[in-house]
Structure 1
Amino acid sequence: MATATASLDIPQSPARVWQLISGFGSLPDWLPCIPESELSEGGRVRRPTNQDGSAIVERLQAFGHEARSYSYVIEQALFPVTGYLSTLRVHAVPGRPDVSRVAWSGTFTPRRCE
């Protein structure tokens, strides 16, 4: 199993950043490479489409408004991975109430291309 992580500090309060990114279908509002994201199954499944028109299917697994986090799995994608689970979190930066840390982490198993 492989693990990947990334984080970014943003000069805005955690509440403001979470307000922008907490919607499971809100990717087009804050991620420029995703111009479209369609929700289904009552907002628990999203189908983000990238700039070349290819899409993946992701399912929300957990959502914590108070914890400012959500986790999702990829059910269908063009890239070779299985067992994909990611979590997106917004944290306060200690001592900096005006700065947020957005942290993304993911685990997956690379699949051999044939």
Structure 2
Amino acid sequence: MNNYPGETVIEELRLKVPADAKIAWLNAEKEIWEPWLSSKEGYLGRQLFWDKEKEEALILVNWKSKKLWKSIPMSDVNVIQEKFEDNVKTALNVSENPFELIYEGELDKQR
């Protein structure tokens, strides 16, 4: 738990990202998620990783506090997720989002 108000928290996301869709994933992250996240209060940046053996992406999003992160309405997140998926489906010429969400959670920085 985040016991200190204002202490940074990291949102952790793991996605299945097939090798043949990696470039479309990175482009959609840059074009859709990055500008939107950058406009949100409390957003401190993020890191994107890709494991070629597992064909999985790890996304670590840094937030100033859990309160600021969680104050973003899920309806807003869902709209951006839909734009992201539309971007990817168009780029790959597929009808379904190829990136399955494997895990979502949070990490607290230790002192």
TM bucket (normalised to shorter chain) is 0.3 to 0.5
TM-score by length of 2: 0.38
Instruction: Write 1 or 2 for the structure with the bigger share of helix.
Output: 2
Larger relative contact order (CA 8 Å, sep ≥ 6): 2
